[in-house]
Amino acid sequence: MTEGERTGRRIEIPTDLAEALERRIEGTGFPSVEAFVAFVLARLCEETAAEPFSEEEERRLRERLRSLGYID
């Protein structure tokens, strides 16, 4: 793990998910679950930036966040 990978935020995931990811990355070029998750999230952010939410997706997202009490 490089110095850059050690800085940042920690995200906790359930143990069973971490174990499944460990099995999934076996034999790949990923040195750790953390590296794999960072790669996947970075790709997701790239896709999201390229394709903004449709009006309908944004409406549903706002409704869901409202129902969970995150927004008024």
Give the Cα separation of 23 and 34 in Å (integer). Answer: 13
Parse the chain into domains and list their residue ranges. Answer: 3-67
In which band, very low, low, confident or very high, does the pLDDT at 3 lie, cut at 50, 70 and 90?
low
pLDDT in tens, 4-56: 556 788 888 899 999 999 999 999 999 999 999 999 988 888 766 666 778 89
More confident residue, 14 or 69: 14
Please name the residues in contact with 38: beta carbons below 8 A apart, sequence gap of 6 or more.
Answer: 5
Full DSSP string of 50-70: HSPPPHHHHHHHHHHHHHTTS
Give the Cα separation of 63 and 57 in Å (integer). Answer: 10
Confidence at residue 51, expressed as pLDDT on a 0 to 100 scale? 66
